[in-house]
Amino acid sequence: MLACRRDVARIALVVVLMAVLPVRSSAQHAKSSASVDALLKSIGLSKPTMSGAPDFNLLDTNGSPVGLNGYRGKLVLLNFWATWCGPCREEMPSMEQLSRNFGGQGLAVLAINQRENTALVAKFMKTNSLNFTTPLDTTGRVAGYYRVYGIPVSYLIDANGQAIGMKSGPMNWATPAVVDVFRKLIGDGNSGGASGGSMNLEPAKPLPSSLRAGADGIFVRHLQNAQSEVVAKLAVGEELVPLGKVSDAGESWYMVKTKSGAIGWVKGGDVEEANFRR
């Protein structure tokens, strides 16, 4: 009889735990969502009326297919624009800087062009040194999915494909406040990652306060690519100000500012780190 009572007690405890744990999980999720909402509101993004972000299948300027579902596991800045739109052109350099800062850490910038041809868009991107992906919405169908009635409009989509933020009109995506929010959302190079999901709101690993060229003749390049255009040449020991860092496939690059004011990229292995910023 005693053993039977113990079994009943254990079953009762399991039932209670099964009832309580989902409530706690739901409460924690709500708290996390509220934190993200507050974070985005602090930089002028509102909560979208839609939750799930509609998928699409478009071609970019290289003729390559682009679909939103292909970016699951990443934070996505989805922008709607056109070359004739002045406010769109105004915000694009800051989008490029954001893309360079976090492109290797879990952020994808997709700028969906509205009803323009491939040659025109490709020329615009090259002329303005813009390197993020530009799917072509030649019919305006995808803009309809997202209820875009004027441009520019931007949506922020999380690693699970949920629309979490929206901005109608142009925005400077490279201010310290915006960069800090994206750093918190992405976390330490991980926007949900393979675990599928929730954003890490902990601070990312800080940048060093300065860098020094570790050898003579190091090149600062326009892109994080050893074959890209050279914008400056460094002497051994020359100091640099780090603006951002990306890592991919075991290789890291720093976005830096030289003492002459040039901004570009250097390989992580070519420079030495000084003290960390706090």
Sequential DSSP letters for 2-36? HHHHHHHHHHHHHHHHHHHHHHHHHHHHHHHHHHH
| pLDDT for the residue 268 | 86
| pLDDT for the residue 100 | 92
- The separation between the first and the last C-alpha atoms of the chain, rounded to the nearest angstrom, is 63
| pLDDT for the residue 263 | 78
E strands in 214-258: 218-221, 230-234, 239-248, 251-257
CA–CA gap between residue 263 and residue 218 (Å, rounded):
14
Q: Please, are residues 244 and 207 in contact by the beta-carbon 8 Å criterion?
A: yes
What stretch of H or E contains 266?
strand 263-267
Q: Please, are residues 204 and 184 in contact by the beta-carbon 8 Å criterion?
A: yes
Domains along the chain with CATH numbers:
57-195 (3.40.30.10), 211-273 (2.30.30.40)
CA–CA gap between residue 91 and residue 110 (Å, rounded):
14
Ordered per-residue pLDDT tens for the chain, 278 residues:
544 455 544 544 444 444 444 444 444 445 467 789 999 999 999 999 988 999 999 999 999 999 999 999 999 999 999 999 999 999 999 999 999 999 889 999 999 999 999 999 999 999 999 999 999 999 999 999 999 999 999 999 999 999 999 999 999 999 999 999 999 999 833 433 333 333 333 334 567 888 999 888 888 887 667 777 788 899 998 999 887 776 655 678 887 888 888 877 888 889 998 764 44
| pLDDT for the residue 116 | 97
| pLDDT for the residue 89 | 95
Please report how many Cα atoms fall inside a 13 Å half-sphere around the Cα of residue 9, on the Cβ side. 6
User: Which CA distances in Å does 116 have to 9, 60, 89?
Assistant: 69, 12, 15
Spacing of C-alpha 238 from chain mean position: 31
Structure tokens of 132? 């993020």
Q: Please, are residues 73 and 192 in contact by the beta-carbon 8 Å criterion?
A: yes
Residue 17's contacts (CB-CB under 8 Å, 6 or more residues apart) are: none
CA–CA gap between residue 80 and residue 113 (Å, rounded):
6
Closest CA to 91 of 102, 101, 80, 104: 80
What's the whole-model pTM score? Answer: 0.61
Beta bridge partners of 264: 256
| pLDDT for the residue 196 | 34
DSSP 70: G
| pLDDT for the residue 189 | 38
